[in-house]
């Protein structure tokens, strides 16, 4: 079987880390005093985003030793954030948000998931929000949170996209909506390509090329309610028109339509939204593949900010991934499944312009199992504190019901 045949067969399938797996879900709160005017958007970054590449700890000398092919540090184009961490240059579009205090990061975080490093298991735990609590894994943590809010409207939750968002799975009724796309994605295909991609180096590059084909199909410009006029932010924080063609294509494609639809609903009755962005499984050719994923993420956040208008001031965006990636790059210019990773928070309601972390160091003795960034805080704690600060939930309810088994610890201060 030649590569072209393989690619043709793969166009009809996907994996959990697939850039086309972009489900989205909403919760409406027209009559609920508990949720009020605050909006929460949870973005699941499927595929295990490399936090060490997105927010680079260039101040740790071990990073440059471990990564020689991957470009790191301000001297190679990364954007200095605080003298120790630098932002990947592909997210330069978000720097005005950083300067405005509307963008921040939490580093060296993870769920309690360890060792097996399976996308499916890691995502299941991330969206369920549990730590081995029997029965709780079949409900999403956002669904458990909503079950504690009286007076929700009839349209309590929506699941929009190719798959239902597990983070909203549970007893609450869910409606469905999906953007129109031109490819077919089967769960069986996802599982097959997941196994092939990770077990046979010959197919890693082929599957990566298949992902590129599928992504390009999803990003063909189509009719929107103004996506072609996506406004980018200048250094002065003002919005400017005419973004590069690649970003316009994303804004007019699946990512743009999802962000546009999200903002439209949140401007109205909805108060909770969740969707996913894929393309983060960067085993080979990471510089190219992560750049595409970062463009999708950047456009999604900017589109939300633009279309939410004044509601952005009451909005918190939490972007979370199932686990991080190895400290050392591999022989194909990529990174393998790891443990500690990165969370991203954005919005007018956050206290940004900070990288919150108890930094463990990248020396081999400081790594998890000698290979991964050591996680020093549970990523669920950031979501838990967001729920407490935004909606006033009791700490005990968050630790026992929403995230059973979680110890929230001290307030990380990400909500203004």
- The yes-or-no verdict on residue 378 having pLDDT over 60 is yes
* More reliable by pLDDT, 205 or 3: 205
Alpha helices in 171-240 (DSSP H): 187-199, 201-218
Q: Does residue 52 contact residue 305 with C-beta atoms inside 8 Å? A: no
Average pLDDT over residues 124-152: 82
Give the residue among 377, 369, 314 at the shortest CA–CA distance from 343.
377
Q: Is the dihedral of CA 68, 71, 75, 79 positive or negative?
A: negative
Percent of all residues in the chain with a pLDDT value above 90, rounded to a whole number: 57
Count the neighbouring beta carbons within 10 Å of the beta carbon of residue 37: 11
Give the residue among 109, 110, 106 at the shortest CA–CA distance from 354.
106
pLDDT tens for 20-46 read 445 666 666 554 456 789 999 999 999
pLDDT classification of 55: cutoffs 50, 70, 90: very high
Query: Which letter, b or e, does each residue of 16-29 get, where b requires 16 or more Cβ atoms within 10 Å of its Cβ?
Result: bbbbbbbbbbbbbb
Any idea which residue has 């407490």 for tokens? 388
- 205-214, 263-272, 380-389: which range is least confident on average? 205-214
- The whole-angstrom separation of Cα 224 and Cα 303 is 12
Residue 412 lies in a domain: no
* More reliable by pLDDT, 168 or 175: 168
pLDDT tens for 197-249 read 555 555 555 555 555 544 444 444 443 444 445 656 554 544 444 567 888 88
Burial of 258 (0-12, 13-18, 19+ CB in 10 A): buried
Structural domain tally of the chain? 1
- The yes-or-no verdict on residue 372 having pLDDT over 70 is yes
Q: Does residue 30 contact residue 306 with C-beta atoms inside 8 Å? A: no
Q: Does residue 252 contact residue 224 with C-beta atoms inside 8 Å? A: yes
- pLDDT of the residue at 244: 79
pLDDT classification of 252: cutoffs 50, 70, 90: confident
- pLDDT of the residue at 176: 57
- The yes-or-no verdict on residue 99 having pLDDT over 50 is yes
Average pLDDT over residues 176-194: 55
User: Which domain range does residue 393 map to?
Assistant: 3-402
Residue 407 lies in a domain: no
Q: Which residues pair with 45 in a beta bridge?
A: 277, 321
Q: Does residue 33 contact residue 151 with C-beta atoms inside 8 Å? A: yes
pLDDT tens for 320-330 read 999 999 999 99
Residue 411 lies in a domain: no
What are the residues whose beta carbons fall under 8 Å from the beta carbon of 110, sequence distance 6 or more? 323, 324, 339, 340, 341, 375, 378, 379
Q: Does residue 169 contact residue 139 with C-beta atoms inside 8 Å? A: yes
H and E: helices and strands count for the chain: 13, 15
The two three-digit tokens of residue 64, written as one number = 């440059």
H or E element, residue 110: strand 103-110
The two three-digit tokens of residue 136, written as one number = 């709780």
Give the residue among 15, 11, 38, 25 at the shortest CA–CA distance from 350.
38
Q: Does residue 415 contact residue 351 with C-beta atoms inside 8 Å? A: yes
Average pLDDT over residues 303-312: 96
- 55-59, 194-198, 256-260: which range is least confident on average? 194-198
pLDDT tens for 77-90 read 999 999 999 999 99
Residue 409 lies in a domain: no
pLDDT classification of 2: cutoffs 50, 70, 90: very low
Residue 140 lies in a domain: yes
Residue 137 lies in a domain: yes
pLDDT tens for 333-353 read 999 999 999 999 999 999 999
- The whole-angstrom separation of Cα 354 and Cα 361 is 18
- The yes-or-no verdict on residue 169 having pLDDT over 60 is yes
pLDDT classification of 136: cutoffs 50, 70, 90: low
Residue 408 lies in a domain: no
Percent of all residues in the chain with a pLDDT value above 70, rounded to a whole number: 70
Q: Does residue 342 contact residue 324 with C-beta atoms inside 8 Å? A: yes
Residue 398 lies in a domain: yes
């Amino acid at each position: 079987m030649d590569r072209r045949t393989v690619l043709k067969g793969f166009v009809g399938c996907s994996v959990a880390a697939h850039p086309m797996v972009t489900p989205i879900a909403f919760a409406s709160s027209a009559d609920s005093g508990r949720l009020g005017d605050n909006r929460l958007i949870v973005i699941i970054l499927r595929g295990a985003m490399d936090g060490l590449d997105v927010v680079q700890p260039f101040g740790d000398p071990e990073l440059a030793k471990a990564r020689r092919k991957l470009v790191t540090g301000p001297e190679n184009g990364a954007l200095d954030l605080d003298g120790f961490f630098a932002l990947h240059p592909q997210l330069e579009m978000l720097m005005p948000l950083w300067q405005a205090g509307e963008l921040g990061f939490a580093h060296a975080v993870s769920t309690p998931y360890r060792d097996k490093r399976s996308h499916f298991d890691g995502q299941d735990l991330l969206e369920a929000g549990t730590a081995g609590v029997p029965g709780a894994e079949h409900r999403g943590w956002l669904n458990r949170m909503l079950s504690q809010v009286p007076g929700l409207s009839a349209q309590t939750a929506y699941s929009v996209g190719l798959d239902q968002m597990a983070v909203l799975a549970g007893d609450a009724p869910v409606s469905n909506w999906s953007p129109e796309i031109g490819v077919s994605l089967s769960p069986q295909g996802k599982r097959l390509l997941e196994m092939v991609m990770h077990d046979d180096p010959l197919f890693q590059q082929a599957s990566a090329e298949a992902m590129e084909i599928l992504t390009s199909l999803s990003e063909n410009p189509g009719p929107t309610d103004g996506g072609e006029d996506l406004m980018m932010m200048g250094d002065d924080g003002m919005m400017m028109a005419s973004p590069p063609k690649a970003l316009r294509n994303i804004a007019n494609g699946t990512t743009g339509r999802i962000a546009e639809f999200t903002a439209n609903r949140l401007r109205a009755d909805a108060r909770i939204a969740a969707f996913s962005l894929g393309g983060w499984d960067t085993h080979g050719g990471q510089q190219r593949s992560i750049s595409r994923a970062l463009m999708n993420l950047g456009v999604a956040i900017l589109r939300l900010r633009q279309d939410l208008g004044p509601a952005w001031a009451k909005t918190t965006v939490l972007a979370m991934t199932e686990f991080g990636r190895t400290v050392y790059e591999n022989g194909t210019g990529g990174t393998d499944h790891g443990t500690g990773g990165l969370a991203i928070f954005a919005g007018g309601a956050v206290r940004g312009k900070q990288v919150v972390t108890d930094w463990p160091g990248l020396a081999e003795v400081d790594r998890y199992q000698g290979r991964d960034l050591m996680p020093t805080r549970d990523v669920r704690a950031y979501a838990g504190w967001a729920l407490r600060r935004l909606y006033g939930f009791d700490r005990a309810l968050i630790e026992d019901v929403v995230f059973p088994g979680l110890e929230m610890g001290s307030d990380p201060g990400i909500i203004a």
